[in-house]
């Protein structure tokens, strides 16, 4: 931001973006990436809990300052994906989404992989359709 724009913004007042808003943007950006099964609400009894789309901000922790933000994202990946590649795509997408929508500079995006989702076995699907 140029000095002229900063002076103009100071004359008009301040803009404060709630942490929750930044967390929702980060959660949406993370779940757009192929290979992400969902956001993680933490590990309960040794099993990572997958959150639905309504709880995207629950799998994200943010620190928001006046001009910068730091993001921690907790995800569950699909079995068979290359985790470093998925994590890098998440970092790039989250950074771009937050910086574009809020104007905050993202100083770090930490991705925490909390679990892996395995595909359902075919035999389980067949058993559902059998008459008993």
pLDDT tens-digit map of 67-108: 999 999 999 999 999 999 999 999 999 999 999 999 999 999
Strand partners, 69: 64, 106
H or E segment to which residue 88 belongs: helix 83-102
Give the pTM.
0.77
Which domains, and CATH codes, for the chain? 3-128 (3.30.70.1350)
> Which pLDDT band holds residue 54 (cuts at 50, 70, 90)?
low
DSSP state of 30: H
Residues near 12 by beta carbon (within 8 Å), at least 6 away in sequence: none
pLDDT, tens only, 17-45 = 999 999 999 999 999 999 999 888 765 55
- Cβ atoms of residues 76 and 40 within 8 Å: yes
């Amino acid at each position: 931001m140029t000095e002229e724009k900063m002076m103009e913004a100071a004359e008009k007042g301040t803009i404060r973006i709630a942490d929750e808003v930044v967390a929702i943007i980060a959660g949406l950006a993370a779940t757009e990436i192929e290979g992400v099964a969902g956001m993680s609400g933490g590990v309960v009894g040794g099993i990572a809990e997958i959150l639905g789309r309504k709880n995207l901000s629950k799998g994200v922790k943010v620190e928001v300052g006046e001009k910068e933000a730091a993001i921690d994202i907790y995800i569950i990946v699909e079995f068979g994906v290359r985790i470093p590649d998925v994590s890098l795509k998440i970092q790039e997408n989250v950074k771009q989404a937050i910086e574009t929508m809020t104007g905050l500079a993202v100083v770090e995006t930490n991705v925490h992989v909390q679990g892996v989702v395995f595909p359902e076995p075919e035999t389980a699907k067949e058993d559902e359709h059998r008459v008993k």
